Structure 1
Amino acid sequence: MGNDKAGDDRLWEKSLQGDGAAFGLLFDRHRDRVFRHAYRLAGKTQDAEDVMSTAFLELWRCRSKVRLVEGSVLPWLLVTTTNVARNSSRAAHRYRRLLDSLPRGEQASNPADHLFLQNEMDVDAAKALATLNDLDLQLVSLVIFEEYTLAAAAAALKLTPGAAKSRMHRARQRLKAAFRGIAQPAHALGGEK
């Protein structure tokens, strides 16, 4: 194809007219430089690939506003890559800050000590949990499985602490009753009949 030797300005004109091959040639021509720039900013290969992809996506999305500099789309791509990398870094920082701000329960020293039940007990636990309404199931999941404090779970579910305490008590009572109603094999209980 003779387009390979065409300048960016000509390939860009063809891209704007819907020529996917011309846009592909622009991508092939500039992806390595854009990737290297993204890698310098992001520091990780996967992050750099994401930034590069987003920069080229922005090139297409903003195609009506793109200004070529001295007949090349590369300067626009490099500036966009810098902006995308900064936005990505800020978003990752906000996400890490959010995760760090979430309350954490004490870590269990032995995974077997968790309430996560194995084999046939999983089925029984699922049946018992199915007896709870959605809000109570969310509350139990946050407090028991995710080890949030009752106050943190209440805040997450927009409940008052008193309402959360009351709902948790009733949910435990329903779970106990559901477990009593489920016939469990003696070996699952750890005892003999």
Structure 2
Amino acid sequence: MSVAERGTTEHGPSDGQLWSRARRGNPAAFGELFTRHSHLVYSFCFRLTASWKTAEDLTTVVFLEAWRRRSSAAAEQDAVVPWLLGIASQVARNSTRAVRRHRHILAKLPPAVIDDGLQENPAARAESEQQMQEILRVFRRLPQREQEVLALCVWGERTAAEAAIALGIPVGTVRSRLTRAHEHLRNLAEAAAQQTKPRAAMRPQPTREAT
């Protein structure tokens, strides 16, 4: 995790200082927060949707929502990034509705310039989306609450304390949900393995020609 993600930088204001200015209506400070953390939000949204285009739109929506809620949010220091990912979790639950709600603003804004390393390789982008769709098919079999903590702690690379900030729940609740999520994933993996065994046994075995 980068130093900037933790809310401090070697040169320049911390996330907390920028957020304090942004809450007072300073667009330049908010723009710096976008520059620092938009790629993390973008990657997180991609993992929740398996679509680079949707992730791009949702990244813009997340920061639009953050700006809209800035006066009522008390995110300080290390809490800025978890708070942004918490918004991302909310808007990704119904990405179509979230994008539709902001469609007029999105139409007026230029696309968020976020380099995912695959811009010049459509085939690789399509392959990564397909792979993520396969992962999400399993992931979405978990209860919603377990999906949220697992996504934040694994894909968002947040600690239990940071996930608690993002979701507005106690740290102990995050840890218990995370434990249950891992147990459910293990059970799903074991069930999938059991299903493949009969199929393998039913495959015709090669026969040797008589000599």
Please say which structure displays the higher CA radius of gyration.
1
* TM-score band, normalised by shorter chain: 0.3 to 0.5
Which structure has more relative contact order (CA 8 Å, sep 6+)? It is: 2
